[in-house]
Homo-oligomer: A and B are copies of this chain.
């Protein structure tokens, strides 16, 4: 099918929603983030991309730590709230039960079924955004989201986000086993 060049250059794809936590001036603060990705397998390293104007960045820069919190759909309203109000003028430290792990200043959200604490190993500056690269020090999960000791995506009930229309979505139906459908494709081509 022919395609045309479009005005909006940012490609549309489902973005997973996480909440990034950081202590800012000794108080936990949280920001909803959809721009992030794993960047290395061993040691496990993740990059979180935050607009430079956010309050959270200040704490990450100061402490060189942040947390990753994967919310389930039950936490949708408070997750969205963390993107609606800023730590500059709203205290978000009371929104959740908070725990700390090996790092003493990466606040993790107890209500999120999966959390991780990260030590910043590098940062990168872009025009509008700041990229924090964090080595994952430890990852924590609720027992009830594990299947054979691994976090199970269906049990987590993660939240997805789409650009331009600005909607949240849930994960849909299972399609196929990766590395299997492709092998069958090979045999038939």
Contacts and interface: CB of A to CB of B under 8 A. Distances in A.
B84 A179 contact: yes
A31 interface: no
A168 B175 contact: yes
Contact of A162 (B8, B143, B153): B153
Interface stretch (A21-29, A57-65, A111-119): A111-119
The number of times this chain is found in the oligomer is 2
A87 interface: no
Contacts of A43: 127
A85 interface: yes
Contact of A177 (B166, B181, B184): B166
A186 B85 CA distance: 9
A44 B77 contact: no
B186 A81 contact: yes
Contacts of A47: 37, 39, 47, 131
Nearest to A136: B9
B129 A1 contact: no
B38 A49 contact: yes
> Top 4 nearest A-B pairs by Cβ distance?
A80-B182, A172-B172, A84-B182, A40-B126
Interface of A: 1-16, 18, 35-47, 49, 51, 68, 70, 73, 76-85, 99, 101, 110-111, 113-116, 122, 124, 126-129, 131, 136, 138-144, 146-147, 149-153, 156, 158-162, 164-186, 189
